[in-house]
Amino acid sequence: MVKLFSLVLLLFVIIITTEGTKSSYGVYEESGSVKLFVFGDSYADTGNFLNAPSYTAPYGMTFPGKPSGRFSDGRILTDYIASFMKIESPAPFSLRGSSELKYGMNFAYGGTGVFNTLVHGPNMTTQIDKFEELIQQNVYTKIDLESSIALVSVAGNDYYNFLRVIGNNTKDLGELSASLINRLSLNLRRIQSLGINKIAIDLLEPIGCLPIVTQLSSYEKCNDTLNMVAMNHNQLLLQAVEKLKMEMGKSIFVTLDLYTAFLSTIESMQKNHDVMNPLQPCCVGGLFCRSVVCDKPELTFFWDGLHPSQNGWHAVYQMVQSSLPQIFERKN
């Protein structure tokens, strides 16, 4: 009876817990058979940008207790999704080893975008090139890919770099958004053509709520204009994904609504006086953390000027995790 119960649990049950930093979140087919391949920027990077501030203290102080290349004090969304899949986070491509390939590979690189940015790292197209090279080297088989998931989290840096160069002149933002979505669509098609039939795509977060922006209002409010840019991007992305679904004749894609998850969590925390102002970062130092100024990162939403804390990412994960079974249950 115990063995039968364990088998049923393994095959059919999705386990959701509130202990985000200690427990796994779900079950997908046979444990260990699924792999996660990650593409994107610092919201998904778990250690590829070797010279980044994320490899210096106090990054990683909550998990794993030292800097690990994550742009946070601890776990990020990639870790929570891997945990949901009952696997460890896939190894960063920059730190890959033969013994660390069984969970997939993380190609995401902090500071990069769909196109080239001010960071001299691999953009999304180049990340996919590296993925294709591993396939050509027979590191991953067709069976590996067919049972695996791709996570795509990218585009925020494209907007950040555009606004940093152009300044307040936003008349060309529409053209930028169209170009980004067009390239993203091509990249998603390419990931699928390489053999992955389950792809999760992050919608763009409310960029007007990032601390690097809200500091201009003494962390009192989000910038509605920038949030409209994110909303427009997400609308175009959703349309592009629906078009891809129609072209391919099957539901390969699931979108993870980071925009709503961020805003809902921020609004909830603003009503809770027992936590820190969610628009204010735990750390100071501009874009990145130079010194910790908050006593309890577990009560914050943002860690530095751009990135959520582990607590923030866990809250976001809890809001998007209901979308995950939709893609994990698919066989085609």
Q: Cβ of 283: how many Cβ atoms within 10 Å? A: 24
Burial of 175 (0-12, 13-18, 19+ CB in 10 A): exposed
Averages of pLDDT over each 10 residues, the chain, 332 residues: 37 31 38 84 98 96 97 98 95 85 96 96 98 95 92 96 76 90 98 96 98 96 96 98 90 94 98 95 88 92 97 98 80 48
Cα–Cα distance for residue pair 120/126, rounded to 1 Å: 12
Q: Using H for helix, E for strand and C for coil, what is the string for 72-98?
A: CCCCCHHHHHHHHCCCCCCEEHHHCCH
Could you say which of 3.40.50.1110, 3.40.250.10, 3.30.70.1150, 1.20.140.10 is the CATH number of the domain covering 31-328? 3.40.50.1110
Q: Which residues are catalytic?
A: 42, 304, 307
Q: Do the Cβ atoms of 46 and 89 come closer than 8 Å? A: yes
Q: What is the pLDDT of residue 167?
A: 65
Nearest to 105 by CA among 128, 85, 121: 128
pLDDT of residue 293: 83
CB environment 242-252: b (16+ within 10 A), e (fewer) = eebeeeeeeeb
State residue 230's pLDDT score: 97
pLDDT for 57: 94
Instruction: Please tell me the predicted confidence (pLDDT) of residue 20.
Output: 36
Residue 139: which residues within 8 A CB-CB, separation 6 or more? 101
Q: Which residues touch 22 (CB under 8 Å, ≥6 apart)? A: none
Whether the Cβ atoms of residue 49 and residue 81 lie closer than 8 Å to each other:
no
pLDDT at 166: 72
pLDDT of the residue at 311: 98
Asked if residues 135 and 107 have their Cβ atoms less than 8 Å apart, the reply is no
Instruction: Report phi then psi at 230, rounded to 5.
Output: -65, -40
Q: Which residues contact 5 (CB under 8 A, 6 or more apart)?
A: none
Tell me, yes or no, if the pTM score tops 0.85: yes
Q: What torsion do the CA atoms of 203, 205, 208, 214 make, to the nearest 10 degrees?
A: 180
Q: How many C-beta neighbours within 10 Å does residue 23 have?
A: 11
Distance CA(106)–CA(286), nearest Å, equals 27
